Structures are given as C-alpha cells and as structure tokens.
Amino acid sequence: MPVSRKSSRDVAAEITDLIIRKLEEGVPPWSRPWRCSGAGGRPLRHCGTPYTGINTLYLWALGDAQGYRSRFWMTYRQAEALGGNVRRGETGAISVYYSSFKKREEHPETGKEVEKNIRFLRHYIVFNADQIDALPAYFYAPEEPEIPVAPSTRQAAMDAFFTAIPADVRHGGNQAYFTPTFDHIQMPNRTSFRSMDHYASTRCHETVHWSGHPARLARTFGKRFGDKAYAFEELVAEIGAGLCCADLDLPNVLHDSHASYVGHWLEILRGDKTAIIHAAAKAEQAFVYLKSFVSADANAASCDEAEPALAHAA
C-alpha cells in the first residue's frame, strides 16, 4: 500500500494537533480511553506488546476520536501475515520512533575530529484491528457489555503498587500535593474521596511528581519552557498518572486543581510541536521507575518464600 512521506516536523505537528484538539474538547487522551472503549488498557502491537511514550497517547486519542474498540494496531503487512485484510479506503495512523546515525566532524575549539550521534524522528503506518477484516477473533473487543469491576477487586493491586514505593505520604487537610522541599506527598484523608479508586488516581498523580525529585529522576526542563516549566511538569504528572491508572485498571480524571493548567498546556503545545513527545517520554520514564519498585518488591517476596522450601529440601 503506498504511503505518503512526511517530514519529522510534519509527524510531530500531526500528533500535537490531535492532542490539542482532544484537550480543547475537554478529553485528555491519557484520561478517558480505557474507561470508555470496548477494551481498556494501553494500545498493543500485533504481537501483544504495549506501545510506549507518545505512541500510547496518540493511538489512545485517535482510537477515541474514531470510536475504535480494539486495543491492537498493526502494519498492512502484519495484518496480511495474520490473514487479515485492511478495508479499502481506511486511513492508517502514525507510529513514531527515534533512529540515529553517527557523524564525524571537526570540534570548533580543539580542531580534533569527533564523532557525534544524530537522532531523528521516523515513522511507519499502522491500522487498528477495527479497520481490518478476517483477523483472529482475539484482536477484536468483545461485543457484550463489560461487567463493572468492584473496587475491592482492585485493592490488592493498588496496595501492592503504593506499598512498594518508598514515598513519604502524609494524610490530612483538603489538598493533594508533593513538596520537593520537604520531600513528601500530602493527601486528604481517604474518607474525603468519592471512592478508593479516586483516591488512588490522585495519589498516582502526586507519586509521579515524587519521582521527579532531584534525588530520584531529577526531572528539570530548564530554559526550554521557561516560566511554563511548572505547567509542563503538571502535564508530565497527568500523563504519568494516566499510565499508572491504566496499569492498575483505575479510572483517571482531570482533577479540578489540575484543570487550570490546560490553557498553559495548549500554549506550550501550540508553540512547540515536539513538546508532547518530550512530555510523553518523561511520563513513560516516571512510570517505568515507579513500576521498578513493585517488581523489586515482588522479586524479594518470591525469594523469601523460596527459602523455607530450600531449607526443607536440604
């Protein structure tokens, strides 16, 4: 299938334009799709591997805009290999990735030849399974309505996630925030929230902020965003919370205290077409960092459980 060539700047602009449109509609793409689509969670490649970074946000936003219910996306050739047929007239989506090449050039001060690594944005075209006929049945979302999940069935996963993260969390008052100066998360009492799911959603947001402390990921944005750096950090935290909530199968909403930043986000995105890609990458980094505590905790638990068995066998 012929695919029109686009420059990296065009690709970034197309992604950013869609994100801006969803923000203007009041539907942040990291907030809604897994709650309203037929099959929630991150978008998946044909092999079941989740997309990451900006591809997650873009495919969420596009899937929501087009009403796709499947989580699966694949290239034209991948669909053919699976026995499927992309329907005539369907338009593909962009999946982006960074490539690089090495270039040798003369150092302006020393005159010595140095090797420089040049990164550039590339893309390929993917289609949602809902645009493809004759794929195996598991690529399509089930038609029957989903049964609401009781909060108690999520509680164990929520507890495992937050307990493993060594953040200092304090409760009281009527505000949720992270203070870098004193390095702790402040949360209202649990009874102040409509449900434990909403409590966890808010705590995810503040925990992403916690990950950016100088002692951890040291997330800073310097002169690039100037006086909008704080708003940009809020954007990263919102996206990161969306990823955490999707992983925990929790609802995620744009809280009133964070909604005031939407205007700043739109201003940033309109002024810098690659800003959303940068934000998504930082949010993905934060999510992976927070999940690493859970994995480490699980590995430690499995080792502890194995010790008695080994002792018995000896």
How does pLDDT run across 142-190, given as a tens digit for each residue? 875 655 544 556 889 999 999 999 999 999 887 889 999 999 999 988 8
Q: Which tens digits make up the pLDDT trace of 91-120?
A: 999 898 776 667 777 777 777 777 777 776
Only one residue has tokens 């304090």, namely: 170
The SS3 assignment for 94 reads: strand
Nearest to 250 by CA among 147, 151, 145: 151
Q: What is the pLDDT of residue 38?
A: 47
Beta bridge partners of 101: 118
Q: What does the alpha-carbon distance between residue 45 and residue 75 come to, in Å, rounded to a whole number? A: 9
Element (H, E) at 113: strand 113-128
Element (H, E) at 300: helix 275-313
Question: What would the mean pLDDT of 125-149 be, rounded to a whole number?
Answer: 84
Q: Are 72 and 78 in contact (CB under 8 A)?
A: no
What's the token pair of residue 125? 């075209």
Confidence of residue 253 (pLDDT cuts 50, 70, 90): low
DSSP annotation of 9 reads H
> In this model, does residue 28 exceed pLDDT 60?
yes
The SS3 assignment for 77 reads: helix
Q: Which tens digits make up the pLDDT trace of 53-90?
A: 999 989 988 888 888 889 999 999 999 999 999 999 99
Q: Are 240 and 287 in contact (CB under 8 A)?
A: yes
DSSP string, 251-266: -----HHHHTTHHHHH
Q: What does the alpha-carbon distance between residue 297 and residue 311 come to, in Å, rounded to a whole number? A: 22
Q: What does the alpha-carbon distance between residue 299 and residue 305 come to, in Å, rounded to a whole number? A: 10
Q: What does the alpha-carbon distance between residue 232 and residue 11 come to, in Å, rounded to a whole number? A: 21
What's the token pair of residue 40? 């929630």
Q: Are 293 and 166 in contact (CB under 8 A)?
A: yes
Q: What does the alpha-carbon distance between residue 73 and residue 50 come to, in Å, rounded to a whole number? A: 10
Helix (DSSP H) and strand (DSSP E) numbers for the chain: 11, 8
158 to 24, 154, 246, 290: CA distances (angstroms): 31, 6, 12, 13
Task: Give the largest CA-CA distance in the chain.
Answer: 68
Q: What is the pTM of this model?
A: 0.75
